[in-house]
Amino acid sequence: MKIAIDGPSGVGKSTLAKEIAMKFNLLYLDTGAMYRTVAYYFLKYNLDYNLENKDELEKINIDLISRAGRDIKVFLNGEDVSQFIREKKVAEVASVLAKYKSVRNKMDLLQKKIAREKKNIIMDGRDIGSNIMPDADLKFYLDADIIIRTKRRMKDLNLNLEDKIAFDEIYKKISERDYNDLNRKFNPLKRVAEAIFIDTSNMTFAQVKQQVFDIIECKLKNG
Ligand code: DC
């Protein structure tokens, strides 16, 4: 069983993907973590991420370890960077770097190789159903209103929902990332026709999970 989950930032793809992986015994690959690792490298060595830099990319070696029900472990040239790649600045830079053809090519090669080698896998990202695993058995596209995504992010960060300054700042960051995802030339965020679309705006996480589990169970039963 190969499953693709795509959708914008902050829609809950990775939390859901981890739960699916646990329940159905699949390998979970968080492709965003790989883009974040490239971003971390650029930040670590103070490189200009507003320019495409193919030479530096050649120096980047990424290794991944998937762990049941937990975040993926990521190694950059042997260094465990799993914690660092979750920082705000890294997410911002990843969103910029993800537009360069050379970066996407590097990620494509790695991700497509893993997709070919593994029979039971779930990947989440932006171009999984459209580009990395066009042959996936099931494709999901998750979406939610940007205001809802902003509030969910605030809750995750334990921020007061009435804090207008914090709201505006997070809203702005998410809209920038949406803009970058939707408008890049190479493999933008795409909802392919065959993907099952779930608007999670008015759903609890438990409801989304139940709906997705039911669909996967049905697919496993009926092929
Ligand atoms: O899902 P995430 O927030 O961890 O992803 C980090 C960035 O990587 C995101 O801004 C867009 C980019 N990305 C991408 O372009 N293609 C993917 N398949 C996954 C992530």
Cα–Cα distance measured from residue 42 to residue 203, given in angstroms and rounded to the nearest whole number: 37
What CA–CA distances, in Å, run from 151 to 155, 163, 170, 176, 198?
6, 11, 9, 16, 19
* Mean pLDDT, the chain, whole residue set: 96
pLDDT at 172: 97
Check if the beta carbon of residue 152 is closer than 8 Å to that of residue 10: yes
Query: Residue 68: pLDDT above 90?
Result: no
- Helix, coil or strand: residue 213: helix
User: Which helix (H) or strand (E) is 3 found in, with range?
Assistant: strand 2-6
User: Average of pLDDT values for 89-103?
Assistant: 97
Cα–Cα distance measured from residue 61 to residue 75, given in angstroms and rounded to the nearest whole number: 8
pLDDT at 60: 97
User: Ligand 1 centre and the CA of 30: distance in Å?
Assistant: 9
Query: Residue 160: pLDDT above 90?
Result: yes
Query: Residue 71: pLDDT above 80?
Result: no
pLDDT in tens, 116-151: 999 999 999 999 999 999 999 999 999 999 999 999
- Ligand 1 — pocket residues by CB below 6 A? 9, 31-32, 35-36, 91, 94-95, 98, 125-127, 177, 181
Cα–Cα distance measured from residue 23 to residue 142, given in angstroms and rounded to the nearest whole number: 19
Query: Residue 65: pLDDT above 80?
Result: yes
pLDDT at 18: 94
pTM of the model: 0.95
What percent of the chain lies above the pLDDT cut of 70?
100
Which structural domains are found in the chain, ordered by start? 2-222 (3.40.50.300)
Residue type, 121: I
pLDDT in tens, 174-212: 999 999 999 999 999 999 999 999 999 999 999 999 999
pLDDT at 145: 98
pLDDT at 67: 76
Q: Which residue has the higher pLDDT, 144 or 71?
A: 144
User: Ligand 1 centre and the CA of 5: distance in Å?
Assistant: 12
pLDDT at 223: 81
User: Ligand 1 centre and the CA of 217: distance in Å?
Assistant: 28
User: Ligand 1 centre and the CA of 89: distance in Å?
Assistant: 13
Beta strands (DSSP E) in 35-169 are 62-65, 73-76, 79-80, 121-125, 138-143
Please give the number of the atom of ligand 1 that sits closest to the Cα of 123: 18
Please give the number of the atom of ligand 1 that sits closest to the Cα of 10: 3
Query: Residue 39: pLDDT above 80?
Result: yes
Cα–Cα distance measured from residue 62 to residue 194, given in angstroms and rounded to the nearest whole number: 31
- Give, for ligand 1, the residue of 15, 31, 187 to mutate: max count of ligand atoms closer than 8 Å to Cβ: 31
